[in-house]
């Protein structure tokens, strides 16, 4: 798995998978962060499914810009970490899955 760094990629297509029901501003956010790349958004259901799409290199990133419960994303994070991937928040910080923490 390769990391994707905003503003440092040299063009080409960026495949972004998003929530089918909560796309929010993902397309605009991704296009702004990766201005030198063409952003192609794919809506899909199931946070775990979206994480697997990234693991299988069918998508480059899974971005969620609206409120989401941590239990919706922890399984995907558990799959990505041993493979060298990350599922950070929008600020790039690791997500804390501890009890009663936002």
What's the CA angle centered on 84, arms 76 and 96, to 5 degrees? 50
38: nearest Cα among 5, 10, 65:
10
Q: What is the pLDDT of residues 4-29, one digit of tens each?
A: 554 445 568 999 999 888 777 888 88
Q: Residue 93: is its pLDDT beyond 70?
A: yes
Contact indicator for 41, 29 with CB cutoff of 8 Å: no
Q: What is the pLDDT of residues 47-89, one digit of tens each?
A: 889 888 988 999 998 887 777 788 888 888 888 889 888 888 8
Helix, coil or strand: residue 44: strand
What's this model's pTM, rounded to 2 decimal places? 0.73
Provide mean pLDDT across the span 33-52: 88
H-run or E-run covering 72:
helix 70-80
């Amino acid at each position: 798995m390769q990391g994707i760094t905003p503003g440092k990629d040299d063009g080409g297509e960026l495949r972004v998978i998003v929530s089918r029901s909560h796309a929010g501003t993902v397309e605009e956010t991704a296009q702004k962060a990766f201005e030198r790349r063409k952003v192609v958004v794919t809506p899909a259901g199931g946070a775990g499914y979206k994480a697997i799409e990234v693991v299988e290199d069918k998508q480059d990133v899974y971005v969620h810009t609206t409120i989401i419960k941590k239990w919706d994303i922890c399984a995907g994070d558990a799959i990505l970490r041993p493979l060298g991937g990350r599922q950070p928040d929008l600020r790039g910080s690791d997500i804390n899955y501890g009890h009663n923490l936002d």
